[in-house]
Amino acid sequence: MNKEPMFFRDEGEMGDVLDEAESLLEETRVLEEKVQAQIILVVEYYRYLEDVVSSQTNKKMVGEEIGGIKDEFTEMVNEWDEKKDQLKKKEEEITRQQQLILERETKIESQMENFEIEQKERISKELHKISQLSTNVEEQLNEVERIKNIIDNILSEDGESIEDKLFSKEDIEYLQLNYFSLMRSRLTSRGVVNPLTKEEYNKSAWEIDIANKEINARIIRGIIKKRVSVGFNIKFIVPEDEEGFIYRKIGKDVSDVITGFLQSNEDGKNSFNALVLISPTGWSEWIIDKVINIRNMNKCVYLVDLCERNIFFNSSDTKTKLFAKWFLPVSLEEEIENMVVNLEEDIKNGVLQFRVDKIALQYKIPRKIVISAFKEIVNNGKGEFILPDDGAKDVILVVR
Amino acid sequence: MEKLIDKIIPGYGYRVQKDRLNSDRAVRDKLSRELKKSYNSLKEISDLAYKDGRRDVLRHIKDLINTIDIFKNEIENASYGLSPLFKEDKVSDDALDRMVEFDIGLIDELEIITTAVDLVYDHVLKGETSDIILQMRKIKRNFDNLRNIFLDRTDFLIKDMAKGEGVESE
């Protein structure tokens, strides 16, 4: 009898169990991956839940703490406000004190400025005084230097030259007397013609005024209204005394005098006037140059040099040249010769001894004229000198 | 892939010298255990075939069982602890990668075979046995493939490594 199989009944095929196995394994693998992914998600969610729960718990705890912290914070804020107010008050106080300090500083600065200004003014005045003193000292030094230069100039020249140019006050006086005497004799002995009007006047028409150092010789016309027809103004000019020496030539000192003379026009256009300036020491080149170029219708200017016995004027002007001979001084040789004549006359009268100072005083002539006359007599073999070195009081001429 | 192996065989890895022998042992234990399960399943199927008088089927099943049994004994008794992989510290990365590839191939093939044997058992229980001989032959072919992979792995460990192909020179 055939027994029915229990399992191997061949009721169907198995198919490809290997492919099925591969599929199952693949599905299993995919499932496992999905499960793994799900597990990861679940873990993450769990962690998230934990975080949420933890956060809520913390919030609750924080909420409880916040109340306390708020109170503490409020307390702290109040304390800070109080401290802030205190600081604000202190700041205001400091600001006020700073303001006071600033005001005082300003006041002190102002006082200092005023003090500085006063100091500066005082110093300025002192400086001004010092400057003035300095100027005075400088002027005095200049003056000293000028005198020193004059003395140096004098000392640098030789003795004879010094003797020729140096004049004593007495010499100057004698020169003036002699020249004025010469002028007076000429005026009183000569008539004159007005070169402008051609009017002639005899010698008695002169009106002569002799002052200290001036001669005014005028011929006056008119009865109701007097006017000068011809006028000579003769002035003797003495240079300033240089420490006892009369030496300096005259120059610009007289420019004002000349200008004033030329500008005056008191007596009208028909009045002829001459200004004669006499210098015992000579004239500077500057003033000579000015005078010799003066050209005026009715006025003439002359400079007389008694040292060199010379006269300066505008020689190209006819009328000036015409009147120059009126004021020409006596030459030195002529004067010495006159002195020799006088001495010889005295010798004839029995005088055997002459002393320079006495003769100069007697004849009112400068010493150098007397000495020149003595030399002339000695040179003629009529006498000899006794000098102060030989024991004489002054130079003496002894007649043989 | 290493993660997958790590999941199947805990502590698996050849990077560190001291872990290499244990990893090899773990792979062989895995193969042996799984093959034992398939062996048991096929044994039950053969019993059923015997009871149902299906001597034609029985012969194919027993042939597969004998093959598994022999292979299981080869796995369990294989001794290549003298391989340079386990003796040398410095082993090339290529050699290590090759070992991992062998092991992945073995596990993949093993899983297919064991799953297929389980499916055959289920179909037998359902009476769907008309093509069981064909399935046995297919499983036998996969099983041969598994055994070849294992033999290649053995050759690599014993022969190739011994030639110094995987060992880094000092």
What digits encode the pLDDT tens for the residues B116-131?
999 999 999 999 999 9
Total domains present in chain A: 3
Burial class of A317 by CB neighbour count within 10 A (0 to 12, 13 to 18, 19+): middle
Contact B15, B34 (CB under 8 A): no
- Rounded Cα gap, residues B99 and B13, in angstroms: 10
The residue assigned the tokens 């369990």 is B76
A311-346 residue pLDDT tens: 999 988 888 888 988 898 988 888 889 889 999 899
Q: Which residues, 6+ apart, have CB-to-CB distance to B119 below 8 Å?
A: A14, A17, A20, A21, A24
Give domain status of residue A272, yes or no. yes
Q: Are both A120 and A203 inside the same structural domain?
A: no
Residue B1: the pLDDT is 53
Contact A17 B126 (CB under 8 A): no
* Statement to judge: residues A244 and A313 lie in one domain: yes
Task: Show the 3-state SS of A48-71.
Answer: HHHHHHHHHHHHHHHHHHHHHHHH
A259 and A366 fall within a common domain? no
First and final CA of chain B: distance in angstroms? Answer: 31
Q: Percent of chain A beyond pLDDT 90?
A: 16
Mutate to test the interface with A, among B123, B138, B140 (most CBs of A within 10 A): B123
The closest CB to that of B48, out of A8, A14, A21, belongs to A8
Q: Looking at chain B, which residue has its C-alpha nearest residue A15? A: B131
Q: What's the gap in Å between the CA of B63 and the closest CA on chain A?
A: 18
Q: How does the average pLDDT of chain B come out, rounded?
A: 88
| A322 and A345 part of one domain | no
Task: Tell me the nearest-neighbour CA distance from B143 into chain A, angstroms.
Answer: 11
pLDDT of residue B135: 94
Of A3, A7, A24, the CB nearest to B115: A24
Q: What is the CATH number of the domain that holds A349?
A: 1.10.10.10
Is residue A273 in some structural domain?
A: yes
Domain enclosing residue A368, as ranges: 335-399
CB contact under 8 A, B128 and A21: no
Return d(Cα B45, Cα B123) in angstroms, integer: 10
A-facing residues of B in 55-114 (CB < 8 A) are: 57, 111-113
* CA nearest to A190, candidates A182, A317, A22, A198: A182
Amino acid at B77: N
Choosing among B135, B139, B144, which should be mutated to test the A contact, i.e. which has the most A CBs within 10 A? B135
pLDDT at position B2 is 58
A145 and A237 share one domain: no
Say if residue A285 is in the same domain as residue A224. yes
pLDDT digits (tens, 9 = 90+) for A50-63: 888 888 887 777 67
Residues A185, A305 share a domain: yes
Q: Which of the four pLDDT bands, split at 50, 70 and 90, describes residue A1?
A: very low
Beta strands A353-355 and A396-399, pairing class: antiparallel
> Contact B59/A14 with Cβ under 8 angstroms?
no
Mean pLDDT on A159-180: 75
Total residue count of chain B as it appears in this document: 170
3-state helix, strand, coil in chain B (%, to 5): 80, 0, 20
Interface check B11 vs A, CB under 8 A:
no
Cβ distance of B48 and A6 shorter than 8 Å: yes
Angstroms from B66 CA to nearest CA on chain A: 20
Indicate the DSSP class of residue B159.
I
